[in-house]
Structure 1
Amino acid sequence: MSAKTIAVSTVVLAAAMAMPASAQKKPEERPAAYEALMRCRGVADSAERLACFDQATAALQTATDNREVVMVDRQQIRKTRRTLFGLALPDFNLFGGGDDEKEEDEVKQIETTVANAFVDQNGKWALKVAEGATWRQTDNNVLGRKPRPGSKIVISRSALGSYMAKIDGQPSIRVRRDQ
């Protein structure tokens, strides 16, 4: 087996093992290039198995190069979830979230810094955080100190799909994500 074949096979197997168990239970949802690679494991003859793996890994590499198959690791999933925190998205388990998801993988709050803050025409705070997301105040609570660029902000999930923001340790304000 060539080094390239071994490397590609290792990446594919690692990606498969990182998939949530709910995705692993549904083979019909797996890409055809991946399924072809897995079928090679069942070939008894060594030479035929090697030829099968060579062909399947080449097909998988082509699919990956053409962005028909995209592999992500758990760290990339966590980063993406953090970036999407607060957005109302449909639940289609693209970034995990299945029945067997680990509690530790769920993003319940983010800790970041304020990049920009201003009071809008309604007298409520608009807060842009370091990652680029904009959060807007939805309640009438008053902040004792104005948020400034560099202020520490912790945004956490609250009841009924709402979010609370705590800025520089002040009492929390209710917020929603705009962008």
Structure 2
Amino acid sequence: MVPRLPLIAVSAALFAASPSVAQDAEVANDTDTIEQLKSCRAIADPMQRLTCYDREVGQVITATEQGTLQVVDQQDVEDTKRRLFGFSLPNLKLFGGDEGELTELETTITRVRREGREGWIFTTEEGSTWRIAETKLGWRPPRPGQTVVFKRAAMGSFFIRVNGQIGVKGRRIE
């Protein structure tokens, strides 16, 4: 079994390249850096291949140190997906594209406050803040420490099930 390499997320869309990178002709753009590193595999002569790897790995290290290239592992990707769950984001393919998109999230409530007669605002352990504007008859208010499950619904809303109760509609607000 081949070991899984860390995912490399090219963050040019998220981080502006520093002026020194733009001026340094030795540092290629982020996607070229990875492609050039991959191209070293095709070199038959072991010494030339090693020279190529040394040069291109140096470019990757320089890009990561300057912030134009980010290297993340799968756990970081999953944690980020959990923290961003509920937001509408453009598909930047930073998190593996659509195939790994979360459609449901189970987490824990950390803070709760009432809003109006039937509304509730609460925060989850990931730091996201959600609003439930209307509840159903017999619905029990959320409390810190309770489990909450979010499932995508229509028009950017979510079905929110607090502590196993029937789902109510809500939205992420922060």
TM-score by length of structure 2 reads: 0.76
Structure-2 residue corresponding to 1:153 = 148
Structure 1 residue matching 2:5: 3-state secondary structure = helix
Q: Return the offset for 1:163.
A: 0.4
Taking structure 1 as reference, are residues 87 and 142 closer, same or farther at Cα in structure 2, changes over 3 Å only? farther
Q: Return the offset for 1:160.
A: 4.0
> Could you give the per-residue CA deviations for residues 46-73 of structure 1, whole angstroms, max 9, x where no partner exists?
2222111111111111111212111223
Unmatched segments (≥5 aa) in structure 2: 10-28
Q: Do structure 1's residue 119 and structure 2's residue 119 form an aligned pair?
A: no
Q: Where do 1:26-175 residues align within 5 Å?
A: 31-98=31-98, 101=99, 105-121=100-116, 123-142=118-137, 144-175=139-170
Structure 2 residue matching 1:31: 3-state secondary structure = helix
Kindly report structure 1 stretches of 4+ aligned residues shifted beyond 3 Å.
none
Q: Is the 8 A contact 2:149 2:161 kept in 1?
A: yes
Taking structure 1 as reference, are residues 139 and 91 closer, same or farther at Cα in structure 2, changes over 3 Å only? farther
Q: Is the 8 A contact 1:139 1:173 kept in 2?
A: yes
Q: Return the offset for 1:122.
A: 6.0
Q: Return the offset for 1:142.
A: 4.5
The residue type equivalent to 2:173 in the other structure is D
Q: Do structure 1's residue 14 and structure 2's residue 5 form an aligned pair?
A: yes
Taking structure 1 as reference, are residues 138 and 144 closer, same or farther at Cα in structure 2, changes over 3 Å only? closer
**Equivalents in 2 of 1:92, 1:60: separation in Å?**
21
Taking structure 1 as reference, are residues 41 and 128 closer, same or farther at Cα in structure 2, changes over 3 Å only? same
Q: Which has the higher strand share?
A: 2
**Equivalents in 2 of 1:134, 1:48: separation in Å?**
54
Q: Return the offset for 1:133.
A: 0.6
Unmatched segments (≥5 aa) in structure 1: 1-9, 20-28
The residue type equivalent to 1:115 in the other structure is T
Aligned-pair identity in percent equals 34
**Equivalents in 1 of 2:138, 2:170: separation in Å?**
13
RMSD over aligned CA atoms reads: 2.6
Q: How many residues align?
A: 154
Structure 1 residue matching 2:76: 3-state secondary structure = helix
Q: Which has the higher helix share?
A: 1
